[in-house]
């Protein structure tokens, strides 16, 4: 028995010096001190030993048990402290280190820059800024705007439908409808925001930004529209910018038109940017169709209005010479840093 005790004592000392994890330490504890452990078995074996020897052997076994227990405890403690220190070392942060580049702070995205400039141009003329919702009802995006379910104009805007009645708005004109329903004239608002169409190439993105403008008051006419858009073009594209209106079609304006600005790169001579024409198309506009006014509870005999829709990406691309709309959404830092 005494021999066995010595054997176990040596074995424990050897094994414990080799452990590499707390789990292994736990295994050792089970192996020697557990319910079926080796030292526990020795104690159980005491009953087979003669009565004279039992007290002294029992004392040895108890000493062994105590020794092993203390050894395991002290290793456990050392192990935990060691691991803690290791972790702290690994996670050490030198708060006195200086930044690689103290000026490395972010800057506004070119689209935000363009949007802010557009907003400035119109708030300077007394417009206020409104935002609508991106998940919109067919009713506001199409029906109130004189585009019923079977209207061919729906083809012009490849729509992401969520249900039959709910869609991702295809145009900020939806905010026009909501505004006319909730405000009384005089109305003078711009509504910048995201719009969605199933379209994807160098000049179209499935998500892009528009800015709608709406004016409703007594005696609003095409001259007011032209004056307002001229003012915007000069403010955004440069003081010597000329504009021209071309007839177009939108169901919610009558008459409808598109506005071109004189090419600010070649000043009208013809270049790559304006495809040799000297003009660049920038927006759609028109006199609000009386049907739309009446749809939205505004008496078309008393009031008239004009509306326009500007593509913000298009403005940013023109102004900053960006050849592909997708660059705007890739967020390549080499591109973005140019607009600091
Ligand atoms: N909503 C039109 C479009 O997305 C633009 C527009 C707005 C035209 C307001 C006229 C008046 O194409």
pLDDT tens per residue, range 98-119? 777 766 778 899 999 999 999 9
For the segment 157-168, the average pLDDT, to the nearest whole number, is: 94
pLDDT confidence band for 51 (50 / 70 / 90): confident
Q: Are 177 and 187 in contact (CB under 8 A)?
A: no
User: What is the distance between the alpha carbons of residues 26 and 75, in angstroms, rounded to a whole number?
Assistant: 11
- Tell me which of 61 and 196 has the higher pLDDT: 196
Q: Are 79 and 150 in contact (CB under 8 A)?
A: no
195 CA: nearest ligand 1 atom: 4
Ligand 1 site residues (CB inside 6 A) read 171, 173, 212, 250, 253, 284-286, 307-309
Ligand 1 centroid from CA 3, angstroms: 98
For the segment 182-193, the average pLDDT, to the nearest whole number, is: 97
Query: Which pLDDT belongs to residue 267?
Result: 83
* Cα–Cα–Cα angle for 145, 259, 250, rounded to 5 degrees: 20
pLDDT confidence band for 156 (50 / 70 / 90): confident
- Tell me which of 268 and 221 has the higher pLDDT: 221
Only one residue has tokens 């990406």, namely 313
pLDDT confidence band for 263 (50 / 70 / 90): confident
User: What is the distance between the alpha carbons of residues 241 and 98, in angstroms, rounded to a whole number?
Assistant: 48
Ligand 1 centroid from CA 256, angstroms: 9
Is the pLDDT at 13 greater than 90? The verdict is no
Is the pLDDT at 241 greater than 80? The verdict is yes
CA-CA-CA-CA torsion sign (188, 193, 195, 199): positive
Mean pLDDT of the residues in the chain? 92
Ligand 1 centroid from CA 157, angstroms: 11
Query: Which pLDDT belongs to residue 200?
Result: 86
- Looking at the chain, the whole-number percentage of residues with pLDDT higher than 90 is 59
CA distances from 65 to 56, 190, 238, 243 (A): 14, 84, 92, 98
């Amino acid at each position: 028995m005494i021999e066995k005790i010595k054997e176990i004592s040596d074995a424990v000392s050897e094994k414990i010096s080799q452990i590499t994890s707390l789990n292994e330490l736990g295994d050792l504890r089970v192996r020697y001190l557990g319910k079926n452990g080796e030292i526990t078995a020795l104690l159980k074996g005491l009953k087979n030993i003669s009565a004279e020897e039992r007290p002294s052997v029992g004392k040895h076994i108890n000493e062994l048990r105590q020794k092993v227990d203390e050894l395991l405890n002290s290793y456990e403690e050392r192990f935990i402290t060691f691991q803690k220190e290791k972790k702290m070392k690994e996670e050490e942060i030198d708060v006195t280190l200086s930044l690689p580049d103290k000026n490395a702070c972010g800057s506004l995205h070119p689209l935000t820059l363009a949007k802010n400039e557009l907003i400035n141009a119109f708030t300077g003329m007394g417009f206020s800024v409104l935002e609508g919702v991106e998940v919109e009802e067919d009713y506001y995006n199409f029906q109130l705007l004189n585009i019923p379910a079977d209207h061919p104009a729906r083809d012009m805007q490849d729509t992401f439908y969520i249900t039959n009645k709910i869609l991702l708005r295809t145009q900020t004109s939806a905010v026009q409808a909501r505004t006319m329903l909730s405000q009384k004239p005089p109305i003078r608002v711009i509504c910048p925001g995201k719009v969605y169409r199933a379209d994807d190439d160098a000049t179209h993105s499935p998500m892009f930004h528009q800015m709608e403008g709406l004016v409703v008051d007594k005696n609003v006419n095409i001259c007011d529209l032209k004056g307002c858009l001229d003012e915007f073009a000069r403010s955004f594209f440069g003081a010597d910018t000329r504009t021209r209106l071309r007839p177009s079609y939108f169901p919610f304006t009558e008459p409808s038109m598109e506005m071109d600005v004189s090419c600010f790169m070649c000043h009208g001579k013809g270049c790559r940017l304006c495809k040799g024409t000297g003009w660049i198309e920038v927006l759609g506009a028109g006199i609000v169709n009386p049907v739309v006014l009446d749809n939205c509870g505004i008496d078309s005999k008393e009031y008239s209005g004009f509306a326009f829709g500007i593509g913000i990406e298009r403005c940013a691309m023109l102004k900053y010479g960006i050849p592909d709309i997708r660059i705007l959404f890739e967020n390549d830092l080499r591109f973005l840093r140019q607009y600091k």
